[in-house]
Structure 1
Amino acid sequence: MNYNYLRYFSVLAELEHYTLAAARLEISQPSLSSAIRSLENELGVKLFEKVGRNIRLTEQGQYFQKKVDAAMSELSAATEMLLSSRDNAPIVIRLGFVSGALQGVISQIMASYVRDSNRFRFHITEGSARDLMELLHQEKLDLAIVDVTSRDRSLHFRKLRQRNFYVAVPEGHELAQRTELNASELASYPQVGFSHSMDHNFEDWASRPDVPQQFVCQVNTVSSALNLVCAGLGITIVPDECILPLEGVHYIPLVNRHQALYSCVVYDRWLDPPVWEFVERIIKSAQTK
């Protein structure tokens, strides 16, 4: 049974006047008449009868009006409840980052979203660019911030910014007074590296033939590396967004070592408008930073 026809009947039954009912419903009078005829034909009864130039409900029409109005009221209440539930449901945004990329402007934007609305929830994954791209394909991420691109045509990349690198050394280290360093100068110093399972691309420089490795230990996070540097265990390389004002640690620019950060999403994948707006804000803010 056509929902609109029931709605038309309810209004006409209340007003018992075709012209007034059509005006309230914002449809033409012929359309209203046609809908009521179709409803009567489907039911096999007359719902209205003419009284002079007016109409009134038949006995069957009066019975039907009570049932229709009750049903319409239930439908209206259910619709309002569902809309309210939808409007108050959490908005989950799933983000992936290579190590360090969550620092700075991105984390600030996330914090502002949470402050402005308690509906936003963030699921954060940190890993290698390769792993994050795979999670995008599996529809487990909405957006990834990566440090390499791919020839995979199902993925769309946009350059956000270029990250610079610094050498973190402990207080009193012989390199602490330097204003800049070349990667080749680090070969003779003990270094705190990163676990191979983390696949940190910002350590790619260390695998080059002109920069021998001398790792004393390997860790999974930048904060762990910096704490070990502070303890005097060695030096380490960190991207600029990971520089922390840590007492006992000095940061020296590493020259001629740069790396781009990219946003990565799946082409033509539907994202809910609030999620898409967040993604666009992240990209625009990072590009203008």
Structure 2
Amino acid sequence: MELRQLRYFSVLAEELNFTRAAARLHISQPPLSMQIAQLETELGAALFRRTSRRVELTEAGVCFLHDVRAVLARLKDAGVRVRAVDQGLAGRVEVGLSGSHFLGPLPDLIARYATTHPDVSVILNEMKPSDQIDALREHRIDVSFTRACITDPLLDCVPLWPDPVLAVLPAGHPLAAKRQLRLAELADEHFVVLRRDTSAFAQHIFDCCAKAGFTPRASQAVSEVPAQLNLVEAGLGVALVPASTCQRLKAGVVTCTLTDPTPQANVFAIVRKDSPTKARETFLASIAAPLEA
């Protein structure tokens, strides 16, 4: 049984006239008659009653028409979906990210993408940056958002947007009135730090402090930036966090820009080189575009 035969049958069932059906199919009448006869032979049942005056569907033909229409409709839908997937308008993107990204521009960027690509499912998986790289290698996620570019023969690193690091202090701190600090001015402070085993960004902060001539004294060590901010507000120390995470700070904390050196928390997308999908590519293109004013 061929797809062509099903289409011929469907058109003839609608027209109930071989001449009109053949014209609609842009073929001559004999090939149409031959294909319908072959289909009936294969099915072992007559689909049409033919007389000199009219063509009618048999009871078996009526039943077969119901199923054929369903098959053709499914095939049409499948064609639409295939074209949508090929154009990046449908599919699924598994994203790995850490908690700090929920405080920056990423949620708004994903929401914007969802409005333009409603048939692409974007699944967010919150996990430590180090776990995201393992998940990429194991094909469990498609994109990792991270604050450190990595060198790996299997992976590509795509720059997204700059994100300088700010000092966050309790509102009543003696240094809180300053708008800008040299990093070394924080040498005697107690820090709420990120655990260095959780991300390359945590190590970057530690290295910047070392370059400024001190080792940060950790009063608390946590895994996520939101925890840092809450503990700073409680007065348990100061913290160095990405500027994008400070957009919705509570009244109990203040921020200062940093110099000498100025740590960076720039955001990158990490993807596998060997498994691109159109949905992933349209997603990254949208995320990398600047936020609309």
Same fold (TM over 0.5): yes
Residue matched to 2:284: 279
Question: Unaligned stretches of 5+ in structure 1?
Answer: none
Structure 2 contact 168–253 (Cα < 8 Å) conserved: yes
The alpha carbon displacement at 1:231 in A equals 2.1
Structure 2 contact 206–215 (Cα < 8 Å) conserved: yes
Fraction of identical pairs, as percent: 26
Alignment partner of 1:254 is 2:258:
yes
Q: 1:189 to 1:238 in 2, by over 3 A?
A: same
For residues 45-71 of structure 1, the C-alpha deviation after alignment (integer angstroms, 9 at most, x for no partner) is 9988997xx6866xxxx78x4323312
| TM-score normalised by L of structure 2 | 0.75
Greater Rg over alpha carbons, structure? 1
The alpha carbon displacement at 1:73 in A equals 0.7
Distance in 2 (alpha carbons) for counterparts of 1:110 and 1:12: 49
Q: 1:55 to 1:148 in 2, by over 3 A?
A: farther
Residue matched to 2:87: none
Distance in 2 (alpha carbons) for counterparts of 1:245 and 1:227: 10
Alignment partner of 1:219 is 2:225:
no
**Secondary structure of the equivalent of 1:102?**
helix
For residues 150-186 of structure 1, the C-alpha deviation after alignment (integer angstroms, 9 at most, x for no partner) is 3323322211111101111112212112221222222
Distance in 2 (alpha carbons) for counterparts of 1:39 and 1:216: 80
Residues 193-202 or 240-249, more deviating: 193-202
Alignment partner of 1:265 is 2:277:
no
Alignment partner of 1:19 is 2:19:
yes
Alignment partner of 1:70 is 2:63:
yes
Structure 1 contact 163–261 (Cα < 8 Å) conserved: yes
Structural RMSD (CA): 3.8
Residue matched to 2:128: 127
Superposed counterparts of 1:5-44, under 5 Å: 5-12=5-12, 15=15, 17-29=17-29, 31-36=31-36, 38-39=38-39, 42=42
Question: Unaligned stretches of 5+ in structure 2?
Answer: 85-89
Superposed counterparts of 1:188-267, under 5 Å: 188-199=188-199, 201-207=201-207, 208=210, 210-243=213-246, 244-255=248-259, 256-267=262-273
Distance in 1 (alpha carbons) for counterparts of 2:60 and 2:120: 39
| Aligned residue identity for 2:95 | L
| TM-score normalised by L of structure 1 | 0.76
Structure 1 contact 17–55 (Cα < 8 Å) conserved: no
For residues 199-248 of structure 1, the C-alpha deviation after alignment (integer angstroms, 9 at most, x for no partner) is 25145232436221211111222222222212222111110011132112
Distance in 1 (alpha carbons) for counterparts of 2:252 and 2:44: 90
